Amino acid sequence: MANTIKLADKVIYQLQQDISLGKYKPGELIPPEPVLMELFNVGRSTIREAIKTLSNAGILRVQQGAGTFVCSTENNEPLDKRLRRAARMEVTQVRSLLEIEIARLATQFRDDQDISYITAALDDRWQAIQSENYEAAADADIRFHKSIAHASHNSVLADLYQTFTGVIRESFSQREKPHVQQFQQTHQLHADLLNAIKNQDTAAATRVVTQILETNF
């Protein structure tokens, strides 16, 4: 399943690029499944996964008996909608840049209250893991990272991260078999991140954030 997801991401990214560059224009049909399978050298299930994702994001529209069409998009759409429409790879790249900068600033500008909020979220995250409460673990995980965003004391970055939380939560729900173990395996890294911010160690904080993102994606 992991390999299928990776292949689907590549198909999603390429179709997204083709649409952005005007190869497939709004209202036009994209090639049928057999052509896409040959074009991307992947199986039918991978193509269907990619089309389903792009359809859910509002980029494609599947019409039974007619084919798959490119949806028209507005240039002034809200950022949260744009994020859901974007290819997963693009969102991951932007999120990485955002979280690394947030961690860097948090090590410089955090105060005692910020550390208290981050610590409380980390404690809640661990309690949820221990009680095997997946939803609570997801909530605590997002709150942990939001607290770090606020600790950057940059309101624009904090607002941007708030917008990203919807996409992050969706990524949790799309995991093949959601389980608290997926949070447990990165818990020590989260504790290391808190310590780096507390100790104002910028190099350690950015390194740990990168490790967390690589584990999640």
**pLDDT per position as a tens digit, 131-154:** 999 999 999 999 999 999 999 999
Integer Cα distance of 30 and 81 in angstroms: 22
What value, to the nearest 5°, has the Cα angle with vertex 48 and ends 44 and 54?
150
pLDDT number for residue 197 = 98
pLDDT number for residue 76 = 46
pLDDT number for residue 4 = 41
Integer Cα distance of 66 and 29 in angstroms: 9
Strand, helix or coil for residue 65: coil
Virtual torsion, Cα 182, 187, 193, 196, nearest 10 deg: -160
Write the DSSP string, 88-149. HHHHHHHHHHHHHHHHHHHHHH--HHHHHHHHHHHHHHHHHHHTT-HHHHHHHHHHHHHHHH
pLDDT number for residue 170 = 66
For residue 165, pLDDT beyond 80? no
Q: Indicate the burial class of 161 (C-beta count within 10 angstroms; 0-12, 13-18, 19 or more).
A: buried
Integer Cα distance of 55 and 51 in angstroms: 6
pLDDT number for residue 9 = 79
Integer Cα distance of 67 and 1 in angstroms: 26
Give the residue from 99, 94, 89, 104 showing the smallest Cα distance to 53: 89
Q: What's the predicted TM-score (pTM) here?
A: 0.61
